[in-house]
Amino acid sequence: ETGVTQTPRHLVMGMTNKKSLKCEQHLGHNAMYWYKQSAKKPLELMFVYSLEERVENNSVPSRFSPECPNSSHLFLHLHTLQPEDSALYLCASSQEWSQLQPQHFGDGTRLSIL
């Protein structure tokens, strides 16, 4: 059991749909992350929030829109996605935004774009 919960676990959507991924952490952490994990590619950092402020946006297309309403919740809003966006989207949290802090991952949302 991870302490970082992601919903839904699986999502199939058309290219014109709008959906949101949700992440909730019960660890009292101050930093939260979105990663994309594709087949044959390393884990890619997408966004970082520290104390509810976005501190990293790694050249992610605008069709991905993150939201962090409080320190326990993180959303990834999706619209007009492309087939190449099909991947496993992982949320993680850490005590602080620091290289010295371990990251705790959720089990991911498997996203398929038709």
Residue 66 found at the interface with another protein (CB under 8 A):
no
Q: Are the CB atoms for 37 and 90 separated by under 8 Å?
A: yes
Residues 12, 51, 107, 114: which binds another protein (CB under 8 A)? 107
Rg value, the chain, Cα: 13
- Would you give the binding string for another protein spanning residues 2-41, x where CB under 8 A is met? x-x-----------------------------------xx
User: Near another protein by CB under 8 A, which window of 11-19, 68-76, 77-85, 91-99?
Assistant: 91-99
Q: At 72, list the tokens.
A: 């326990």
The CA-atom distances, in angstroms, between 98 and each of 38, 49, 77, 80 are 25, 12, 26, 33
Site map 71..90 versus another protein, x via CB under 8 A: -------------------x
Q: Which of 76, 81, 92, 111 binds another protein (CB under 8 A)?
A: 92
Distance in Å, CB of 94 to another protein, minimum: 9
Q: Considering the rule CB under 8 A, would residue 48 count as an interface residue with another protein?
A: yes
Question: Distance between CA atoms of 104 and 27, rounded to whole angstroms?
Answer: 9
